[in-house]
């Protein structure tokens, strides 16, 4: 069976090509997956919008209603980085529903990936930093509420600290939040995860992978995990517009294979989400995001 991939064409909310958020990476990632023979009918699953009842498990009810009715206050829209119009609202609901579906597929098949997700700056009260809803937090709380999982581990390797996920989930004993990120990257005020590792600017492949190899066995030893959410943000790449960590494409590939191989080797299901990645060379960016899917395919 091929790697199960969750997607929806409306993950792309059609921003102008010069927008700071490279929205066209979503269709280009699908193109890259198709070119690699990974997006056949047996592999593709269509996301459906997350209902308000799921979103309200992780977010304040008034904020969820504001996003759904496209009446988010301007001050919050500025913190998010774009206005919440009907297309952006739909894409946020779809990306969140997509991560819930990918998590269910991971529980069933061992591994599955969403072609969006990893909106880890969205806090309980509101969105921020290009993140409207926190899909991983919502999916965790949906699975826990349903009894589909009891212990969940979040491994967040996006270059930015997972402040929103920490805000929503830290303190919940059923979820362990781990973030390894660039110390000097956004957000300036970080919210403590259960475990944070802050790396200096310019950390390259070797030091990064050594650190990761040390921490993974410690994470898997903490509890019996029913599911791992893996935020595979590619903004750790040397050519990323926002990141400062200087990883190469080979470094990205080794990172993804190390994380997925570690947990799959222990029989723990892994749900991959793509996380951040910023470049004006969007085809190159899409190819970086495709590395997660290539690595995951080896364990499907």
Which stretches of the chain bind Zn ion, using CB under 5 A? Answer: 158, 160, 233, 235, 276
User: C-beta of 201: minimal distance to Zn ion in Å?
Assistant: 15
Distance of CA 178 to CAs 65, 147, 148, 282, Å?
A: 29, 22, 21, 28
- Return the number of the residue (107 or 242) whose C-beta is nearest Zn ion: 242
Name the minimum Å distance from CB 184 to Zn ion.
13
Minimum distance from CB of 147 to Zn ion (Å)?
Answer: 32
The closest residue (CB) to Zn ion is 276
Q: Which is nearer to Zn ion, 158 or 194 (CB)?
A: 158
Taking the C-alpha atoms of residue 197 and residue 211, their distance in angstroms, rounded to an integer, is 9
Q: Taking the complex as a whole, how short is the minimal distance between the CB of residue 278 and Zn ion, in angstroms?
A: 8
CB 100 within 8 A of CB 144: no
**Partners of 152 in beta bridges:** 175, 227
The residue (of 127 and 276) whose beta carbon lies closer to Zn ion is: 276
Q: Closest CB to Zn ion among 110 and 118? A: 118
Minimum separation from the CB atom of position 267 to Zn ion (A)? 30
Helices (H) and strands (E) in the chain, counts: 10, 8
What are 6's strand-pairing partners? 45, 114
How far apart, in whole angstroms, are the C-alpha atoms of residue 189 and residue 167? 12
Task: Supply 114's token pair.
Answer: 């969403």
Q: Tokens for 62, please give them.
A: 């008034």
State the burial class of residue 103 (Cβ atoms within 10 Å of its Cβ: 0-12, 13-18, 19+): buried
Cβ proximity to Zn ion, 38 vs 157, nearer residue: 157
Q: How far is the CB of 276 from Zn ion (least distance, A)?
A: 3
The smaller minimum CB distance to Zn ion, of residues 49 and 233, is found at 233
């Amino acid at each position: 069976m091929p790697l199960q991939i969750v997607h929806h064409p409306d993950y792309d909310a059609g921003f102008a090509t010069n927008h700071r958020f490279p929205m066209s990476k979503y269709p280009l990632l699908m193109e890259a997956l198709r070119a690699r023979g990974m997006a056949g009918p047996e592999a593709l699953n269509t996301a459906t919008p997350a209902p308000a009842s799921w979103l309200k498990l992780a977010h304040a009810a008034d904020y969820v209603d504001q996003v759904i009715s496209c009446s988010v206050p301007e001050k919050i829209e500025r913190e998010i980085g774009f206005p919440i119009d009907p297309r952006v609202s739909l894409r946020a609901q779809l990306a969140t529903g997509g991560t819930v579906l990918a998590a269910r597929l991971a529980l069933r098949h061992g591994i599955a990936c969403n072609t969006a997700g990893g909106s880890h700056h969205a806090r309980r009260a509101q969105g921020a930093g290009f993140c409207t809803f926190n899909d991983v937090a919502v999916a965790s709380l949906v699975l826990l509420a349903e009894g589909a999982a009891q212990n969940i581990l979040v491994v967040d390797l996006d270059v930015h600290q997972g402040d929103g996920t920490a805000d929503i989930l830290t303190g919940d004993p059923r979820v362990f939040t781990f973030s390894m990120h660039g110390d000097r990257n956004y957000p300036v005020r970080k919210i403590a995860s259960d475990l944070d590792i802050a790396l200096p600017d310019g950390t390259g492949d070797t030091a990064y992978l050594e650190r990761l190899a040390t921490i993974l066995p410690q994470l898997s030893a903490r509890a019996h995990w029913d599911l791992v959410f893996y935020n595979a943000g590619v903004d750790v790449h040397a050519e990323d517009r926002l990141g400062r960590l200087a990883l190469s494409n080979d470094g990205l590939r080794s990172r993804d294979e190390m994380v997925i191989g570690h947990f799959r080797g222990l029989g723990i299901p892994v749900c991959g989400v793509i996380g951040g990645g910023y470049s004006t060379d969007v085809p190159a960016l899409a190819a970086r995001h495709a590395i997660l899917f290539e690595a995951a395919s080896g364990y499907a």
